[in-house]
Amino acid sequence: MRKFIAMAALAAGLGFAASASAQVVGIATSNPGSLFHNIGTAVANAANQAGLNTTIQPATSPNQFIPFINSGGIEFGVANLQEVTYALEGKGWFNGTAFPNLRVVAMLMPLQEAIFVRKDSDIKSVADLKGKRMVDGYTAQNTILPQLDAIYSTAGLTRADMTPVYVPSVVEGANAFIAGEADGFIFAHGAAKVREADAAVGGLRALAIDNPTDETLAKAREHWPTAFFSHMKAGSSPGVLEDAAYFAFPQVIFTHANASEDAVYRMAKAIHEGKEAMVATFPPFRAFDPAAMRGDPGVSEFHPGAIRFFEEAGLK
């Protein structure tokens, strides 16, 4: 009964019921200001321009809406591949409860992430964070703690080396930083909240991976297996003050096994053909390569509707 009530509450929170018209599809995203909300909005705009009636349904984070998608309560969601993998296998914060109905629709551009501090701070590297007030907790967004662990590990640190400032989500972590309650916060490059923080404090510094070697990457992957290091050019995003390497991992649009093959086909086609529309909505989509939509999903599977489009488009 408790599980049923929780799912019903989530359905109400998402503002989307399974009985809605089959001609309207929803994309579950994280809260406004988050990267996944930006991405979902851009994808929805491209889908709408392609004739697929699509709405955005914000929730706090993927770990909250993944079970709802798995059950068929909403058609699509935006998440990172690692979290979808954990959900499929019941690992990590899913604590043995697997969600085997999840299916990938498309691989998107990588999520590039950093810990941000004030530009005028004496914190110049991840190693300089030792003893500082750092966001922690993330009770509503379980995906963040292992990402912090991974970034700290590249400098030989752990969360225990910080003075914790407890927040429920990345958006609230950024708010704590803006309010002066934390010395740094973690967020994805390009997100609206990062631009807001940059303006609010007079400039940010994104802390790069100082030693982006295979050995350092192996340490990061102990905490976040799909991680890799991605190089960014100075000035390409708020806080990127020099050419440097940053923590990154794949992100995806996903659905459930029983989703309409036609709707998934149309969504995959809209994403493949809609880069211009998505860039107009969210400029970081410039890094999206339509030819790479059929990338390696790891233990995940692509939905048959997506595969039908890939084969039609000659994607391998």
> What 3-state DSSP class applies to 73?
coil
Q: Mean of the per-residue pLDDT values for the chain?
A: 91
Co-location of 244 and 258 in the same domain: no
Tokens of 123: 């914190």
SS3 content of the chain, % helix, strand, coil (to 5): 40, 20, 35
Co-location of 166 and 222 in the same domain: yes
Identify the domain containing residue 264 by its residue range. Answer: 2-110+250-313
Q: How many domains does the chain have?
A: 2
Co-location of 118 and 147 in the same domain: yes
In Å, how far from its chain's centre is CA 126? 21
**Element spanning 80, H or E:** strand 76-80
- Ramachandran area for residue 163 (φ above 0: left; ψ -120 to 50: alpha; else beta): beta
Average pLDDT score over residue span 62-74: 93
User: Taking 90 as the threshold, does the pLDDT of residue 3 lie above it?
Assistant: no
Query: What digits encode the pLDDT tens for the residues 259-305?
Result: 999 999 999 999 999 999 999 999 989 999 999 999 999 889 999 99
Average pLDDT score over residue span 74-99: 94
For residue 210, count CB atoms less than 10 angstroms from its CB and return exposed for 0-12, middle for 13-18, buried for 19 or more: middle
Q: What one-letter code names the amino acid at 94?
A: F
Domain termination residue (choose one: 193, 227, 249) = 249
User: Taking 80 as the threshold, does the pLDDT of residue 80 lie above it?
Assistant: yes
Query: What digits encode the pLDDT tens for the residues 154-187?
Result: 999 999 999 999 999 999 999 999 999 999 999 9
Tokens of 207: 């802390």
**Where residue 129 falls among pLDDT bands split at 50, 70, 90?**
very high
Note whether 107 and 252 are within 8 A (CB): yes
- Cα separation values, 80 from 219, 231, 248, Å: 20, 19, 10
**Where residue 54 falls among pLDDT bands split at 50, 70, 90?**
very high
pLDDT of amino acid 169? 92
pLDDT of amino acid 11? 45
pLDDT of amino acid 39? 95
Co-location of 93 and 20 in the same domain: yes
Average pLDDT score over residue span 140-158: 95
CA distance 103 to 112: 23
Co-location of 82 and 200 in the same domain: no
The crossing angle, in degrees rounded to 10, of helices 81-89 and 62-70 is: 50
Predicted TM-score (pTM) of this structure = 0.80
First to last CA, the chain: 45
